[in-house]
Amino acid sequence: MVRHLLDVDDLTPAELETVLDRAADIKAAQAAGHGDEPFDNQTLGMIFEKPSTRTRVSFETGMTQLGGHAIFLGPDDIHLGSGEPVKDTARALSRYVDVVMARLFDHDDAEELAEYATVPFVNGLTDDAHPCQTLADLLTIREHFGGFEEVRVAWVGDGNNVAQSFVLGAAMVGLDLTVATPEGYEIDDEVLARADAVGEAPATTHDPEAAVEDADVVYTDVFVSMGQEDRREEKLAEFEGFQVTTDLIGDRKLMHCLPAHRGEEVTDESIESENAIVWDQAENRLHAQKGLLVWMSEQE
């Protein structure tokens, strides 16, 4: 059966645990100088409407390390939804490649690609969701804390795509999560309902200090996401008081999906502190996605 990943709750909690186990095993084997190449002579087609350092390099490198090959399809290489319907792109690519990954603006386009693709499809990011980041986040937390039991995480900032996928992933593994956002930037009610369906929805507040009080980890992301540059001054004003500083972090771990807008959602001092585990997160994009790709290939 062909499996797709539009958001993290397309997996069951047991499947999510299996993907994380696959990722951990692959990471350990690579560190030991071992590993196999299950994707020999296979190709990953990568569609990019939005640029990215981590998504492109981690997927392309991961596919190479698994013995396969990746093709980059940027805005000038493919006419997604303009030169031809999205469903036609999905069907044509499925005749050429073994897996499709797309980093897009509109989540509806990702859903249509998945609907018509006859090979596994992975959502590399949309304006609504970032499941691959959540896989890396959970792998990072599991490594640093030995699991998820009794780990408390505070999300401080925008209830954006990264936050929404993380809310779902946290519910699935049983993380104790509190989300602090300014009014008007909360997690979507529909996402909270889905979190309740797979576990327990997070506590919510508009007070960053209250959110981090009992936390082991503080997680933040940019206040001004890609495509929102014309709203920069407006959003920065609305997020006043939500900047993650060393005082807010205290002795807690700091997570950030990167790239960081230093001086906006987080201070430079915080990112450079010993509390920051952001580079482990970044590295784990590679391992988590390899684990996902291997697991998806086992479902066919």
Determine contact, residues 4/10, Cβ cutoff 8 Å.
yes
Geometric angle at alpha carbon 52, from 120 and 134, rounded to 5°: 60
Q: Is residue 285 a known part of a binding site?
A: yes
Is 221 known to be catalytic?
Answer: yes
Partners of 217 in beta bridges = 153, 253
Catalytic residue among 3, 4, 56, 130: 130
Catalytic residue among 133, 164, 281, 289: 133
Partners of 46 in beta bridges = 72, 101
Q: Is residue 225 a known part of a binding site?
A: yes
Q: Is residue 134 a known part of a binding site?
A: no
Is 257 known to be catalytic?
Answer: yes
Is 34 known to be catalytic?
Answer: no
Is 130 known to be catalytic?
Answer: yes
Q: Is residue 53 a known part of a binding site?
A: yes
Q: Is residue 132 a known part of a binding site?
A: yes
Q: Is residue 257 a known part of a binding site?
A: yes
Catalytic residue among 221, 281, 287, 289: 221
Q: Is residue 133 a known part of a binding site?
A: yes
Catalytic residue among 252, 285, 287, 289: 285
Catalytic residue among 22, 56, 103, 287: 103
Long-range contacts of 78-85 (CB under 8 A, 24+ apart): 78/47, 80/47, 80/49, 80/104, 80/109, 81/109
Tell me the residue type at 219.
Answer: Y
Is 88 known to be catalytic?
Answer: no
Per-residue tokens: 63: 């596919």
Is 103 known to be catalytic?
Answer: yes
Q: Is residue 202 a known part of a binding site?
A: no
Residues 6 or more apart whose CB falls under 8 angstroms from that of 281 comprise 136, 137, 140, 255, 256, 257, 258
Residues contributing to the annotated binding site for carbamoyl phosphate = 52-55, 103, 130-133, 257-258, 285
Instruction: Just list the catalytic residues.
Output: 103, 130, 133, 221, 257, 285
Residues contributing to the annotated binding site for L-ornithine = 161, 221, 225-226
Residues contributing to the annotated binding site = 52-55, 103, 130-133, 161, 221, 225-226, 257-258, 285
